[in-house]
Amino acid sequence: MLKQWLFALMLMCFSFTTLASIDRIVEAQGKLSQDFVALQQASEFDKSFLEDVLRRKNQALRERIAQYASGADVDSEKLTPVLQSQIDLVDGLIEFSNSDFAAVAEESRKVEGEDKRKLELQLQRRTSILDTYFSQMSSSIQLAKKQGIDVSQIEQETKQALIQRAGFLANVILYIDTERQLDEGRLKYVNPTEKEELNNQIIRYNEYTSMMVISLQVTTGLMETFGINVDEYKQLLLTTTGDINADVLDVRVAYGLFEEWMASFKEWAFDNTPSIVVKVALFCIILYLTRAISKVVSKAVRKSVKHSKMDFSVLMQDFFVSMASKAVVFVGLLIALSQIGIELGPLLTGFGVAGVIIGFALQDTLSNFASGLMILIYRPYDVGDMVKVAGIQGTVNNMSLVSTTVQTIDNQRLVIPNNKIWGDVINNITAERVRRVDMVFGIGYGDDIDKAKGIFSEILLSDERVLKSPEPVVKLHTLNESSVDFVVRPWVKTDDYWDVYWDVTEKVKKRLDAEGVTIPFPQRDVHIYQHAVDSKEGES
């Protein structure tokens, strides 16, 4: 019995609290309505303060209304006028804000400098406040509809207001974007002082655009709750912000964006195709002329260095010709690029930065480049010379700033990095016109030395390729273990070196055999001594 009384008491207390809560809400709503009247009648100096206080109080009251409306025991007779008053209050605040926005916007058009900046900040703040009021109006209408209140008229008016607001915000975004593009275009030719001012103005444009975009996003979100088509505004938001979100998955939005891009492309193509065709044609003509001029310059430079009194090597001549040709092509390419609208200043700066990066990345290649320059300057060999470099012997076929191509005697083509050549011994075999052929022939100890010497001298004198000056040398050189060795050293032209070497060797062998002079081979005398074997060891 006691429990039943306690339960009934609790129900009475809850009902009393609920009734007291709705009564306080009604009372608070009445005070806010009075505050709004005071706000409308206040001076311009006090309006900002009073509106801020009213907005904060109203937000707290709206939270209490929402909490009460979500409860189980709701007094609809008292809640209905509260909701209607709340709708009227927010509607009045929206109208008040629109009037204030229009007044501030008109005043901002009449001033410049810091005063204009302050008014722009007020406009941005008022735009954010309007977003709040429209959000409150939307939630109030939805709550009233749940309570069965007829709000069709205010709902229709809110829809129209949201549509007008979305259109206004979209136009503002497009206008600001146009102004920003114009100022960015002016940056190319204004002086440093004006450039700084334009940069600051562009920053303000970006800030204002961000605020308008946020406001348009809020507005389109509210419009969607009322079933209004916002595809056009979503396309604008996507193209303005560049943010890829779920909206782009909407077929209508994606199709609208595609149509917009295609229309923009057609317009751009229609306006720019003639100039593009002319620029491309001019680009190709300049490159063609550059190539023709480079060939003429190459021939002129080659002729100049070939008949120069400085006696340039073939490698140095090829280097000058190549550099002159490439310089003409490079200048022509820069001129051609400038004709199609490419700024050469940033491009050359980019080349400089890229050169530093490539220099660090290609240190070995730069080492080869430096070695190639040293080879060109000091000319240790030339094209056509037979050399022995980096352990490889062959004829120099070609040389660049990073490598040298050598054709070996057995017809292999080897490409050797220049730093391996310059950092090692360079043996230029054919650098001199005359070479000495060094040969050694041995006879037996029992043969006639003077006869052998005469044979060698006669063979050399009978060969027309052997030069008379310097005189050939035939001398007894070494008494070896098995032979008496003569050095035979004729002087010949470099081109005849190997032919003389091989022919003289063959003739010496034939003449020595014909004259009975022996050509000994290594011999060793082995003496064998026999010792008597111990008798005991023999018995065992």
pLDDT 10s digits, 341-366: 776 666 667 666 666 656 555 566 77
What's the confidence (pLDDT) of residue 264?
65
Q: What percent of the chain has pLDDT over 90?
A: 16
Q: What's the 3-state SS for 371-414? A: HHHHHHHHCCCCCCCEEEECCEEEEEEEECCCEEEEEECCCCEE
For residue 394, tell me if it sits in a domain. Answer: yes
Q: Per-residue pLDDT averaged across 152-160, rounded?
A: 90
Position 539 pLDDT exceeds 70: no
Q: Per-residue pLDDT averaged across 412-438, rounded?
A: 88
Number of domains in the chain: 4
DSSP-assigned states of every residue in 67-129: HHHTSSS--HHHHHHHHHHHHHHHHHHHHHHHHHHHHHHHHHTT--HHHHHHHHHHHHHHHHH
Q: Are residues 292 and 395 in the same domain?
A: no
Buried b (16+ CB within 10 A) or exposed e, 339-361: beeeeeeeeeeeeeeeeeeeeee
- Final residue belonging to a domain, choices 380, 413, 431: 431
Give tens-digit pLDDT for 81-109: 888 888 898 899 999 888 888 888 888 88
What's the confidence (pLDDT) of residue 442?
92
The rounded distance, in Å, linking the Cα atoms of 8 and 512 is: 148
CATH of residue 494: 3.30.70.100
For residue 146, tell me if it sits in a domain. Answer: yes
What's the confidence (pLDDT) of residue 475?
94
Mean of all residue pLDDT scores within the chain: 81
Position 314 pLDDT exceeds 50: yes
Question: What global pTM score does this model have?
Answer: 0.47
Q: Are residues 220 and 355 in the same domain?
A: no
The rounded distance, in Å, linking the Cα atoms of 138 and 155 is: 8
For residue 34, tell me if it sits in a domain. Answer: yes
For residue 1, tell me if it sits in a domain. Answer: no
Q: Are residues 231 and 128 in the same domain?
A: yes
**Phi, psi for 434 (deg, rounded to 5):** -120, 140
CA 105 vs CA 121, 123, 216: distances in Å = 11, 7, 18
Position 37 pLDDT exceeds 50: yes
Helix (H, G, I), strand (E, B) or coil at 442: strand
Q: Are residues 158 and 254 in the same domain?
A: yes
pLDDT band at 305 (very low <50, low <70, confident <90, very high): confident
Q: Are residues 414 and 385 in the same domain?
A: yes
Sign of CA dihedral 472, 474, 477, 483: positive
Q: Are residues 69 and 197 in the same domain?
A: yes
Of residues 441 and 226, the one with the higher pLDDT is 441
The residue written with tokens 């050509």 in the block is 519
Give tens-digit pLDDT for 266-295: 666 666 677 777 778 888 888 888 888 888
Q: Which of 291-305, 354-368, 433-447, 453-467 has the lowest mean pLDDT?
A: 354-368
What's the confidence (pLDDT) of residue 257?
53
Token representation of residue 219: 């507005």
The residue written with tokens 């060795």 in the block is 485
pLDDT band at 117 (very low <50, low <70, confident <90, very high): confident
Give tens-digit pLDDT for 379-402: 788 888 889 888 888 999 888 778
Q: Are 27 and 84 in contact (CB under 8 A)?
A: no
Look up the domain containing 105 and give its range. Answer: 18-261
What's the confidence (pLDDT) of residue 246?
43
Q: Are residues 369 and 245 in the same domain?
A: no
The residue written with tokens 């969607």 in the block is 224
Q: Are residues 338 and 367 in the same domain?
A: no
pLDDT band at 450 (very low <50, low <70, confident <90, very high): very high
The rounded distance, in Å, linking the Cα atoms of 435 and 489 is: 10
Q: Are residues 23 and 170 in the same domain?
A: yes
Q: Are residues 143 and 249 in the same domain?
A: yes
Position 261 pLDDT exceeds 70: no
Position 449 pLDDT exceeds 80: yes
For residue 173, tell me if it sits in a domain. Answer: yes
CA 520 vs CA 123, 432, 449, 509: distances in Å = 116, 36, 14, 12
For residue 9, tell me if it sits in a domain. Answer: no
Helices then strands, counting H and E runs in the chain, come out as: 15, 10
Q: Are residues 406 and 450 in the same domain?
A: no
* Cα dihedral 43/49/55/61 (nearest 10): -100
Q: Per-residue pLDDT averaged across 489-497, rounded?
A: 92
Q: Are residues 149 and 219 in the same domain?
A: yes
Token representation of residue 365: 């290649």
